[in-house]
Copies of this chain bind each other. A is one copy, B any other.
Amino acid sequence: MNFYKKLLSAARTNNSWLCVGLDPELSKIPPSFGSGVEAILKFNKTIIDLTGDLVCAYKPNAAFYEAHGVKGWETLHETIKYIPSHIPIILDCKRGDIGNTAKMYAQAAFDILGVDAVTVNPYMGKDSMEPFLNYKEKGVFVLCLTSNPSAAEIQRQTIHVNKSTSNSNLHNNSEMELFLRVAELVTEWNIDGNAGLVVGATKAGDLKAVRAKIGNEIPILIPGVGAQGGDLEQSISLGSNTAGEMAIINIARGVIYAGHDLDYRTAIRDAALNYRKNINSAIEKKRNA
């Protein structure tokens, strides 16, 4: 089953477009899990046990495991193995390099770790994305627009787009912000229907523009709702397709650190239930609009 179908199936089974980000920080894990890197795996397993019926995907962030060296990579492996096989796993690693090297990164994610999708950085263009996209059954979420203040420095620069076509001398010149050009390029790169986009949630108008560029089929992974302050209802309303689907709302801190005390289990599950409910309300509202 390809990623697109696996994602849709999990979302419909769990009635959820909530993705839980597995970004474990030892200082934020409830003290009962212990203090060493071993605590991370126990904590992740607890999160997965508590939310496995409430999510469309899990998104472990590679950096939070790399920061613990070899033991961190072991923990990432074990976490991935523990996730039920019908829930897609998006490895947030934002890799990107020339072909030969990108092939190695794709191998690391898809063959060794066995995840269903990755996030990648488009700065080097199509041939740096192909080694990932060539895994036709896997998903490839291309970084488009992020929610940090400095995103403007590069992603929001206005570019002249010079689209020369190989079979004619016609040129179609237009101007747009770079992130919108990335969205256009992704539709061109998406030959096998396995591309997605990452668009931060802080400026909802941008989500609308991106969705308009890419049509209905391409999923958008939306971080930045919750701890980073983006607006959930707008993210769904503008980021989802006409059926109200394919906008994946990623929440990490808002779910996994919802509780620190003895009642952390209840707090985590309640947080996930609440996000799912709010996402579904926003979807309903869009469908009824």
Contact = CB atoms under 8 A, between A and B. Distances in A.
A155 B125 contact: yes
Chain copies in the assembly? 2
B155 A97 contact: no
A246 B122 CA distance: 28
A126 B23 CA distance: 22
Interface residues of A, number: 55
Interface string A126-151: 11100000000000000100111111
A273 interface: no
A128 B94 CA distance: 12
Given A66-B104, A125-B154, A154-B122, A98 B146 contact: yes
A121 B96 contact: yes
A63 B121 contact: no
A151 B124 contact: yes
A68 B104 CA distance: 9
A66 B65 CA distance: 13
Interface in A46-77: 61, 63-64, 66-70, 72-74, 77
A150 B126 contact: yes
26 contacts: A61-B101, A63-B95, A63-B105, A66-B108, A68-B112, A69-B108, A69-B113, A70-B73, A72-B108, A73-B73, A98-B147, A99-B148, A122-B123, A123-B154, A124-B143, A125-B148, A125-B150, A125-B151, A126-B150, A126-B153, A127-B149, A128-B150, A154-B182, A154-B185, A157-B161, A159-B178
* Closest A-B pairs by Cβ, 6 of them: A125-B150, A125-B153, A63-B104, A66-B108, A157-B159, A127-B150
